[in-house]
Amino acid sequence: MPAGSSNKSKVPWADPVIKYGIAPETLEGPNTVGHRFEVSQQLPWPDHLSASRKAAEAGMLAAQQETQWLIRQLTARVKEAYAYWWYTNEAINLHHETRALVEQLATVTEQRLDYGIGSQSEMLRVKTELDTLDARLVELQAEKAGLASDLIPLLGRRPTGASLQLTEASETLLFADGQLEPDHPLIRAAEAREAEARARLDVAEVDRRPTFTANAGYNSLWADERKRWVVGIGVRIPFSGQRQHSAVRKATAEASQKRWLATQAQREWRASIAKLRASVEAGHGRLNILNERHLPNQRAHWEASLNELASGTGRLEDAINSARQLTGVKLRRAGVIRDLYSASAGYEALIPVRTINALN
């Protein structure tokens, strides 16, 4: 419910009961039709209305917060699925890069063959590698199409790859435990369900009391018109109280269960956000090592292997392995970015509402 709103959940009274009867004969004579009307209204206890209103408000708040949590989860799932789709697209792009590297080897091998320092078997080995890459490309394209189909239930449409980009997740969204208040839709919903259960328990306690009913009626069967109107109060007292006691015990158990679930929800939230924060931090560490050391070293290794092959001091198989390793490093880098983006999406879904508002 919006802050500052003066509208509160209205808890209606029990529906009134209206009775109507027709009598073919009255005291006035056999040819006169008599009518009988009666209206009764149960009178609720004031604290019963208050507890019912609190239960309705808490239930409405819980439903709203659960919806917000589902929206956050859906957003994280979409981002994660998109990250895997992007990764497959990157694998296809890197596959083309690998093929270009092997084509360079084919050019060098052909030149060596023309100079008489190469062999036909080396040329066939390069062509076999190109054929293997082409077969793998077909598999990657089918995998990408399958991932795009998996995004249809989440997006409501098939995604387009016109601008398929994935930015590296930033570390600025990482917060220390002291900066994160338990103000999250998951926790809010659990606390609201606990408040609803407590209010339901109060309602069950009040229902153990006697029930009062106001009655008013009109009976034309009485010949004296002064006696036809009737007003009264009815009282219903539980005979054994077993049904009411059972309702109280059930409501007490539900309140205890909701209290435990609220505590558990906060614990799980803290554990999940700590786990995802560690994943994001580790992902940034791995990405820095790949960017600053592993990838430059592997590029240098490939260039050295290509030069050694051209000069006749290197082996073709070593150059092919170097091309594969260079692609493998780039693919691992893309995988780290994918996992980092997915972990960041999950982390963002767990950020408290007040923290998000402070950032905005």
Give the pLDDT confidence score for residue 4 in this predicted structure. Answer: 42
More confident residue, 164 or 87: 87
pLDDT band with cut points at 50, 70 and 90 for residue 195: very high
Question: Who has greater pLDDT, 302 or 194?
Answer: 194
Given this model, what pLDDT does residue 322 score?
Answer: 86
**Inter-helix orientation angle 316-350/120-150, to 10°:** 10
d(CA 64, CA 195): 14
Q: Is the pLDDT of residue 312 over 70?
A: yes
Closest CA to 65 of 182, 173, 200, 201: 182
Q: Using the predicted structure, report yes or no on whether residue 220 has a pLDDT greater than 50.
A: yes
Cα-atom radius of gyration of the chain, to the nearest Å? 38
**Mean pLDDT of the region 111-138:** 78
pLDDT interval class at 319 (50, 70, 90): confident
Given a cut of 60, is residue 272 above it in pLDDT?
A: yes
* pLDDT the model gives residue 251: 92
pLDDT at residue 11 is higher than 70:
no
Q: Residue 71: pLDDT above 80?
A: yes
Q: Which domains does the chain have, with CATH numbers?
A: 17-359 (1.20.1600.10)
Residue scoring higher pLDDT (98 or 7): 98
Question: For residue 65, what pLDDT is reported?
Answer: 94
Can you list the pairs that 285-291 forms with residues at least 24 positions away whose Cβ atoms lie under 8 Å? 286/336, 287/168, 287/333, 287/336, 287/337, 287/340, 290/329, 290/332, 290/333, 290/336, 291/333
Q: Contact 158/148 with Cβ under 8 angstroms?
A: yes
Query: In 3D, which of 121, 132, 125 has the Cα closest to residue 98?
Result: 132
Give the model's pLDDT for residue 161.
61
pLDDT per position as a tens digit, 82-114: 888 889 888 888 888 888 888 888 887 777 776
- Is the pLDDT at 259 greater than 90, yes or no? yes
Choose the weakest-confidence range: 241-245, 246-250, 339-343: 241-245
3-state secondary structure of 175: coil
Per-residue burial over 136-147, b if 16 or more Cβ lie within 10 Å, else e, is ebeebeebbeeb
* Higher local confidence (pLDDT), 238 or 139: 139
Structure tokens at 39: 């209206």
Structure tokens that stand for 339 in this block: 């996992």
Q: How confident is the model at residue 3 (pLDDT cuts 50, 70, 90)?
A: very low
Please, which residues have CB within 8 angstroms of residue 274's CB and are 6 or more apart in sequence? 177
Where residue 172 falls among pLDDT bands split at 50, 70, 90? low
Q: Is the pTM here over 0.85, yes or no?
A: no
Q: If you average pLDDT over every residue of the chain, what do you get?
A: 82
